[in-house]
């Protein structure tokens, strides 16, 4: 399945512990400062809860509401229970976003889905490279000297370099 949208969707693919979230925490403010409106989809490999026991929204969901929307002047949170077996489809998750308010969708995870992504790789962690088996990787951000087989090599420790690559990619 390919991600086909009218808005750029760019993933960050790596094994756990490589620093996807750490890099994104640095990149997002830089991209926002450049004028881009960012949405982020993060894949979780386990059951998670963004709500807390004792809060009204949590208790209402536990009472049987399959969808809960909590809204204030500053924020909106949508919680939907799913009976689905297996991971959600990335296209479906993108469709839940208000794409009129976004210039770029960043995705952390979903590395097995074919869509443009930057691979993060730290040779010291001794994981296999992803790009040789995934033709949708468009660049490799690393802290080592590795053969990227012609793909752009970015310094994982230089978020400004990664940000410039993203902006150039969006404008290409």
**Does residue 156 contact residue 120 with C-beta atoms inside 8 Å?**
yes
- Model pLDDT, residue 45: 63
Q: Where are the domains of the chain?
A: 9-43+87-171, 49-85
Q: What kind and span of H or E run contains 61? A: helix 56-62
CA 51 to chain centre: 21
- Rounded mean pLDDT, 12-22: 94
pTM score of the predicted model? 0.87
- Model pLDDT, residue 1: 43
Q: Percent of the chain scored above 70 by pLDDT?
A: 94
- Rounded mean pLDDT, 115-123: 96
**Domain 9-43+87-171, CATH 3.40.50.300 — does that match?**
yes
CA 50 to chain centre: 17
């Amino acid at each position: 399945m390919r991600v086909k949208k009218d808005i750029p969707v760019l993933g960050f693919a790596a094994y756990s512990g490589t620093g996807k979230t750490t890099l994104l925490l640095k990149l997002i403010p830089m991209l926002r400062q450049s004028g881009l409106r960012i949405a982020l989809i993060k894949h979780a490999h386990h059951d998670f809860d963004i709500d807390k026991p004792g809060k009204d929204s949590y208790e209402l969901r536990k009472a049987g509401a399959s969808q809960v929307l909590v809204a204030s002047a500053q924020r909106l949170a949508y919680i939907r229970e799913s009976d689905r077996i297996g991971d959600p489809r990335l296209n479906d998750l993108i469709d839940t976003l208000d794409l009129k308010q976004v210039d770029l969708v960043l995705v952390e995870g979903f590395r097995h889905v074919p869509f443009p992504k930057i691979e993060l790789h730290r040779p010291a962690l001794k994981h296999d490279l992803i790009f040789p088996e995934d033709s949708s990787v468009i660049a490799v951000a690393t802290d080592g000297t590795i053969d990227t087989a012609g793909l752009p090599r970015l310094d994982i420790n230089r978020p400004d370099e990664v940000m410039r690559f993203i902006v150039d990619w969006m404008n290409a």
